Structure 1
Amino acid sequence: MMARVLVIGGYGNFGSYIAKALADEEAIQLLIGGRSAEKARAFATGLGTIHPAEAHAIDIDGDIPAALARIRPDIVIHTTGPFQTQDHRVARACVGQGCHYVDLADARDFVASIGTLDGSAREKDVLVVSGASSVPCLTAAVIDDYLPSFARLDSIDYGISAAQQTNRGLATTSAVLSYVGKPFTALRDGVMRTVYGWQDLHAEQYPQLGTRLFGDCDIPDLTLFPARYPGLRTQRFSAGHELAILHIGTWLLSWLVRFGLVRSLSDHAESLLRLALLFDRFGSSRSGFHMYLSGIGHDGTRRQERFFLIARSGHGPYIPCMPAILLARKLARREIAQRGAMPCLDLITLGEYLAALEGLDITVVRCGAAA
């Protein structure tokens, strides 16, 4: 029996990657949803799916329960951001309809509070998963893979460097700009301290990519990981532009927000996105992810592990999309018995994640050493 999988935002940046990846899945019939029925229809027609894809008009700001009753999905993948300005109304509607729900949210409070729907999801016998993306799914999977090699894990320092020549929409840009210059808390030396978005300017040396600049970013991990890894004393997540001039420009703008001269850069997302696109000719399609894990090894000496993902040929967006793709496949094939509402943790191993990336122009680099 086929599962009807509705991708909300299915013709958008991340939704289109997910739809294309699921197009040849025997157990899935794709339903492409978005505000424009015409755009959904055009995209669905060109997918070349095994089973005929359907197009549906659906607006997350509209009557979601009525739309789901009309469309009748078994699984919903919600890709339409920014999640920083949303509540759980789409997830609640999915629970009410009795269908599974997966989203790509990277908003800290949105993902961390998804457990409030756990009781109702269990009553309806559905799985509700938030943050099925690079954070916290990939990041936790990397930590869990390396954790047995540490007697004590003290710190994690990790980040994402985006390619300049990549598909990026207004929603993604708004999400990033929403916390630039804004205060949030992060674990530093055993204490939750206030840091500011896109500040703490620093550089990292990537294999194959060279030097990239980074600044602090607010993500769900900053709430979830101190409790998940209780021995952890320091946690830093950062992100950066490929081009130093754009990164430094964003860093300078962050001070305007921090000093209260600008309310939020997300208010100017459209104009800032247009400006950034002008620099595409100077960039590349290469992006990267890094994680440094430091602590004490089982021999009592300092230990550090370094993990990198290097994406070329514009394949970087498949990395944040892969958890939703894997969960859709598992749910359609009835390979997941778990029910309830939770962040995307303990559902996908690093081995599964990396195996799913095989065939793409993505390289894994591991560097381990005593520190």
Structure 2
Amino acid sequence: MKRVVIVGGSGVFGRRLAEGLHASTSSYIILAGRSLERAQRAATDLGTPEAIALDRDTATADVLRALRADLIIDAAGPFQGADLRFTRAVIEAGANYIDLADARDFVAAFPSLDALARQHGVAAITGASSTPALTHAVLDQLRAGWRRLDIVRTGIAPANKMDRGPAVMKAILGWVGAPVRVFEDGAWRERVGWSDCGVFEVPKLGRRRFALTEVPDLDLIPARYAPRDTALFMAGLELPLMQRAMQFVAALRRWRIIPNPVRLADLLRRAGNLLLPFGTDRGGMIVEALGRDAEDRPVFARWSMFAPNGQGPYTPTFAALLMAQRFIAGDPPPPGARPCVGMLTLDEFEPAFARHGFTTQIDVTPLQAPFETALGATFDNAAPAVRAAHRAGPVTRLRGEARVQGAISPLAWLAARLFGMPRSAERIPVRVTMRLDPNKETWTRRFGDRLMESRLRAVAPGIVRESFGPFGFDMQLSVAGGVLSMTIIGWRIGPIPLPAFLAPRSTATESADEQGRFRFDVPIALPLIGRLTHYSGWLALEEVEAAPAPSERETA
């Protein structure tokens, strides 16, 4: 009979993992933790045979060797800021090792133990949890056969009515408000932990606002899948009040009012518990991938998981349970120390999902740019350079040059500033990035150091609506002689139409120049005020580079 020690066996995740192992294997399970009383109580409740006091911060190889364990699982946490001493001691004791680490620094340092694990003939696996083990199993299935991967977005949407263990709170507060390195917009950049990532749809849960989290996948997804544009990992709390409260804590850290929010863990945990009567016990998770499929067509794929009845906290234990079952069955991975990526398939998770009443689904949606959707077959009459630019997604980047005639009056200048329109320039470098999602396309234009962003979607045959903040402008599209024309025919603020006689005057065009390059001409004026801007120039498709290797990272 295999002897398995679960460190943190009375905690939020350790107890659930012990429950799964006890139900699915005949192993001898020992629950370990700093508090012998809590470990004994958990062992009695679960029916496991033994409980011991063990502090992973002080445990030595000799202490662990005396346990005669075949496998030691660290479910204690938090792993943020933790060193590898305990893992090293487990390896030197001759035991196999699994942990549920979701700490980026911990998982990144873990392969440094590879030679030691090989020397002792044991396998040490880190990150056997929702991230990275489950996310990589999902991505392996979502993008199978694809020619290109542009964007990966993963979001965890926990229920409000759930256990909030102290280790979980400390782990989160360790990076909230701190600088977080993330691969976004084709480069490594620095953002703030828990900064806003927008609103996303979670099937069966509805729309939630998500914020940036720091997890191992921010490194591992770019390294393993090389997305060409973005890799984000996010969290969205059920109660908007709590989501905003975490943003406020992040701001306090950024302003150096509270340099170490971890000290607030107990206070914030108690405050969160006061809100337990609100919200639901339903949580979920999404993994979204955008790229080009086996037929080289732009596509959006989303895997979603729905966890009812307060079952969500079991999710981080599933990968560790599956890996432990392999060890116990005599089928461990080869000796060495590595993260839990590419070791499990999504199908292997399905029995655990079903056992806890989880439901999952995969939605695959072909993508089409708004202009082609609105024009239909007429779009094929546009110039080749225009068609290529609108069909290169999901992420299309173009670079070129423009001439800009700026605002003609002080009032026009104010209006132009409101929408981020470029200043006057004879020759200015231009970069345009178009990101296509199922319901919209986002255009980010950079004229030198000036940024202008808008969202476009087809709203009727021949009509595309372009939105800048709360303002929307309806444009009638037409194609003649290879030239695609866009004329503003109406405008609105939110859902409220505005008077047509006050609408901006603009007929913009996209065509090809003598060299076959994409050419644009965009005049915009307001009645009574005059010209806001008139920019024209050329663009060429830019090759979208994949995520660089870790050694090539730069902070932008």
TM-score range, shorter chain: over 0.9
8 Å contact from structure 1 (residues 150, 303) kept in 2? no
Partner residue, 2:18? 19
Partner residue, 1:332? 328
Mapping of 1:80-119 within 5 angstroms? 80-119=76-115
> CA 1:16/1:147 → structure 2, altered by over 3 Å: closer, same or farther?
same
- Answering whether residue 285 of structure 2 is matched by residue 289 of structure 1, we say yes
Shift of 1:196: 0.8
Structure with the largest fraction of strand: 2
> CA 1:127/1:151 → structure 2, altered by over 3 Å: closer, same or farther?
same
Question: Which of 278, 300, 320 matches 2:296?
Answer: 300
Partner residue, 2:30? 31
8 Å contact from structure 1 (residues 27, 333) kept in 2? no
Deviations 1:38-71 (A, max 9, x none): 221222122235xxx1111101122332431232
The amino acid of 1:261's aligned partner reads: I
Q: Which one is further off, 222-231 or 174-183?
A: 222-231
Distance 1:326 1:182 in 2: 33
Shift of 1:354: 2.1
Describe the SS at the equivalent of 2:365. Answer: strand
Partner residue, 2:70? 74
Mapping of 1:247-258 within 5 angstroms? 247-258=243-254
Partner residue, 2:354? 358
The amino acid of 2:136's aligned partner reads: A
Partner residue, 2:190? 194
Q: Which one is further off, 123-132 or 33-42?
A: 33-42
Partner residue, 1:210? 206
Shift of 1:127: 0.7
Distance 2:333 2:197 in 1: 44
8 Å contact from structure 1 (residues 58, 64) kept in 2? no
Shift of 1:36: 1.6
Mapping of 1:215-254 within 5 angstroms? 215-254=211-250
Deviations 1:237-286 (A, max 9, x none): 11121111110111122111112222022111110110011000012111
Partner residue, 1:6? 5
Distance 1:89 1:311 in 2: 35
Distance 1:309 1:70 in 2: 41
Distance 1:35 1:190 in 2: 45
Distance 1:347 1:338 in 2: 11
Return 5+ residue gaps in structure 2 as ranges: 368-556
Shift of 1:337: 4.2
Partner residue, 2:154? 158
Distance 1:26 1:370 in 2: 43
RMSD: 1.3
Deviations 1:181-237 (A, max 9, x none): 111111112200111111124222222112222100111111122121124321111
Distance 1:195 1:122 in 2: 37
Distance 1:224 1:245 in 2: 32
The amino acid of 2:15's aligned partner reads: S
Shift of 1:175: 0.4
- Answering whether residue 135 of structure 2 is matched by residue 174 of structure 1, we say no
Shift of 1:148: 1.8
8 Å contact from structure 1 (residues 56, 71) kept in 2? no
TM-score by length of 1: 0.96
Sequence identity (%): 36
Partner residue, 1:47? 46
Deviations 1:83-137 (A, max 9, x none): 0121111110111110000001111010122110101101111110111100000
The amino acid of 2:69's aligned partner reads: P
Partner residue, 2:122? 126
Distance 1:175 1:227 in 2: 24
The amino acid of 2:31's aligned partner reads: I
Distance 1:16 1:207 in 2: 29
8 Å contact from structure 1 (residues 58, 67) kept in 2? no
Partner residue, 1:342? 338
Distance 2:59 2:77 in 1: 17
Deviations 1:339-369 (A, max 9, x none): 2000011211111012322221211021111
The amino acid of 1:221's aligned partner reads: D
Distance 1:158 1:201 in 2: 11
8 Å contact from structure 1 (residues 256, 262) kept in 2? yes
Could you say which structure has the larger radius of gyration? 2
Distance 1:337 1:212 in 2: 38
Distance 1:105 1:336 in 2: 19
Describe the SS at the equivalent of 1:39. Answer: helix
Q: Which one is further off, 225-234 or 212-221?
A: 225-234
8 Å contact from structure 2 (residues 59, 86) kept in 1? no
Distance 1:348 1:88 in 2: 24
Describe the SS at the equivalent of 1:325. Answer: helix
Distance 1:336 1:274 in 2: 41
Describe the SS at the equivalent of 1:157. Answer: strand
Describe the SS at the equivalent of 2:196. Answer: coil
Describe the SS at the equivalent of 2:147. Answer: strand
TM-score by length of 2: 0.64
Deviations 1:125-152 (A, max 9, x none): 1110111100000111111112224210
